[in-house]
């Protein structure tokens, strides 16, 4: 669907303005698609992001600072998200013995198990992106990287 049809707007200030609107709209669309997948598991996109970061660190722990730096949504409250995941049994939170102000977070076996289940569904969802060839995906990634530099 063209962005003009999706937001029912035919005029834009410029092609660059249209591009920004298109990127924002598409980002939210992808987030909504992911939220649908995650809903049956009782976790949010932000909680999923924390679990994936921790899985990448596993078996090492991550500090709250590391989580905040690596999160996709920089405005999310990492401490609150970790606490929700801890209550569900997906992460362990411990106080660093050397620096009692620092909290270490590690993913549990239960957290790894739920990620494995989600991975299967997400892999199927990612097939929707095969509308792009590998070369097109490379170009799009390159363009998005260029935009952020």
The pLDDT of residue 42 is 96
What value does the mean pLDDT take over residues 118-143? 94
Give the per-residue pLDDT at 104.
93
Cβ-Cβ contacts under 8 Å for 79 (sequence gap 6 or more): 64, 103
Q: Summarize pLDDT for 1-50 with one digit per residue, the tens.
A: 899 999 999 899 999 999 999 999 999 999 999 999 999 999 999 999 99
Mean pLDDT over each residue of the chain, to the nearest integer: 94
For residue 75, pLDDT beyond 90:
no
What the chain holds in terms of domains, given with CATH numbers, is: 7-123 (1.10.10.10)
Distances (CA, A) of 50 to 35, 42, 137: 15, 14, 25
The pTM (predicted TM-score) of the whole model is: 0.89
């Amino acid at each position: 669907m063209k962005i003009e049809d999706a937001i029912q707007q035919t005029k834009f200030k410029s092609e660059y303005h249209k591009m920004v609107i298109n990127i924002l709209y598409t980002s939210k669309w992808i987030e909504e698609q992911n939220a649908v997948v995650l809903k049956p598991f009782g976790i949010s996109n932000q909680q999923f992001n924390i679990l994936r970061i921790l899985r990448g660190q596993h078996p090492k722990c991550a500090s709250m600072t590391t989580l905040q730096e690596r999160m996709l949504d920089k405005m999310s409250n990492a401490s609150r998200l970790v606490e929700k995941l801890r209550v569900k049994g997906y992460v362990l939170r411990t106080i660093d013995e050397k620096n009692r102000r620092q909290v270490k977070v590690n993913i549990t076996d239960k957290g790894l198990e739920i990620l494995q289940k989600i991975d299967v569904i997400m892999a199927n969802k990612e097939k929707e992106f095969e509308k792009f060839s590998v070369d097109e995906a490379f170009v799009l990634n390159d363009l998005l990287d260029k935009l952020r530099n």
